[in-house]
C-alpha cells in the first residue's frame, strides 16, 4: 500500500509535534504539510492533493470543523481534540475517527489501522454499474467487470460511501451508497431494515424484535426506525 499524503493542523506546537512524531513512525503516512491555522492549510490545499487530514478543532480564526467543511474532498479526516463534546458534530462531516487529547501512540495506531482499512476498500472498490435488463449487475474491479446475479445477493451492507453486496460465497464492494442503490429499479426486492443494512425479502426466514434471520442462519440487526418496513410480511 503506497503512503497516503497527510497534513496536520493544530495551533498548539507541542500537540503538532506529538502527532508528527507518531505519524513518522507509520510507513503508510507521508506528511506533506504541518500548519498552525486552518487558513494556511486551505491555501496549501489549493495546489496540493491530500488524502488524510489530522485536524484540531479549536484554533484562532477558522476552526477545524470549518476547515473540514471547506475541504470535503479529502477522503479521510481525523479530528484530534480535547473537546470530546464536539465528536458528534464532526461525524456529520464524514469523519473517520475522533481522538481525545491527550493520547498515546497505541491509540494513534488504532486510528491508522482504520485509515488503512478504509483506503484499501476505497482503492479496490469501483463504480457500480447495472446491466440493461436481466437478473444481473456488474461490479467493476480495476479494469475487470464481475457479473453478480441479483437473486444470489442475500443482503446489502453500507460502508460510508460504499456498499457491500453479500452473496453466500462472496462480498463485492461497489462505490455507491446504500440509499442510491435501493433507488435502482433492479433492487426493489430489497427492504431496508437498518441504517446499514437492506435484505432481499425472499430470504427472510424469521423476524425477531431486534434482528431478522435470513437463509443459512444469517442474522441481521433491525433498526428501530426501520421496523415498519417489515410490515409487508404481517
Predicted confidence (pLDDT) per residue in 157-172, tens digit: 998 778 999 998 888 8
pLDDT in tens, 115-154: 998 888 776 654 454 444 457 777 766 566 778 888 889 9
Low-confidence ranges of the chain (pLDDT < 50): 126-127, 129-133, 234
Half-sphere CA count of 118, side-chain side, radius 13 A: 22
**Sign of the torsion formed by the C-alpha atoms of 98, 104, 109 and 112:** positive
Please state, rounded to an integer, the average pLDDT across all residues of the chain: 88
Give the cell for residue 78: 481525523
Long-range Cβ pairs for the range 210-215 (8 Å, 24+): 214/154, 214/155, 215/154
DSSP element (H, E) containing 214: strand 211-214
This prediction has a pTM of 0.57
Q: What is the largest CA-CA distance in the chain?
A: 61
SS3 call for 187: helix
> 220 with 155: CB under 8 angstroms?
yes
Q: Are strands 128-130 and 162-167 parallel, antiparallel or unpaired?
A: unpaired
CA distance 84 to 102: 11
Domain spans of the chain, in order of start: 4-124, 128-233
Please tell me the predicted confidence (pLDDT) of residue 222: 92
Domain 4-124 fold is: Rossmann fold (3.40.50)
**pLDDT at residue 1, rounded to an integer:** 64
Q: Which fold has domain 128-233?
A: OB fold (Dihydrolipoamide Acetyltransferase, E2P) (2.40.50)
Burial class (CB in 10 A: 0-12, 13-18, 19+), 2: exposed
Amino acid at each position: 500500500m503506497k503512503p497516503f499524503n497527510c497534513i496536520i493542523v493544530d495551533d498548539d506546537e507541542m500537540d503538532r509535534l506529538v502527532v508528527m512524531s507518531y505519524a513518522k513512525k507509520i510507513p503508510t503516512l507521508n506528511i506533506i504539510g504541518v500548519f498552525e491555522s486552518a487558513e494556511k492549510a486551505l491555501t496549501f490545499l489549493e495546489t496540493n492533493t491530500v488524502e488524510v487530514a489530522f485536524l484540531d478543532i479549536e484554533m484562532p480564526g477558522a476552526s477545524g470543523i470549518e476547515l473540514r467543511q471547506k475541504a470535503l474532498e479529502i477522503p479521510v479526516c481525523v479530528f484530534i481534540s480535547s473537546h470530546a463534546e464536539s465528536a458528534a458534530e464532526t461525524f456529520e462531516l464524514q469523519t473517520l475517527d475522533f481522538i481525545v487529547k491527550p493520547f498515546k501512540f497505541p491509540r494513534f495506531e488504532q486510528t491508522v489501522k482504520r485509515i488503512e482499512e478504509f483506503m484499501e476498500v476505497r482503492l479496490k472498490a469501483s463504480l457500480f454499474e447495472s446491466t440493461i435488463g436481466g437478473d444481473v449487475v456488474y461490479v467493476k474491479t480495476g479494469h475487470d467487470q464481475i457479473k453478480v446475479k441479483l437473486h444470489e445477493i442475500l443482503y446489502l451492507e453500507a460502508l460510508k460511501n460504499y456498499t457491500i453486496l453479500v452473496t453466500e460465497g462472496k462480498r463485492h464492494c461497489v462505490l455507491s451508497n446504500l440509499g442510491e442503490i435501493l433507488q435502482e429499479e433492479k433492487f426493489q426486492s430489497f427492504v431496508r431494515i437498518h441504517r446499514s443494512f437492506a435484505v432481499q425479502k425472499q430470504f427472510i426466514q424469521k423476524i425477531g424484535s431486534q434482528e431478522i434471520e435470513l437463509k443459512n442462519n444469517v442474522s441481521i440487526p433491525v433498526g428501530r426506525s426501520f421496523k415498519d418496513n417489515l410490515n409487508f410480511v404481517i
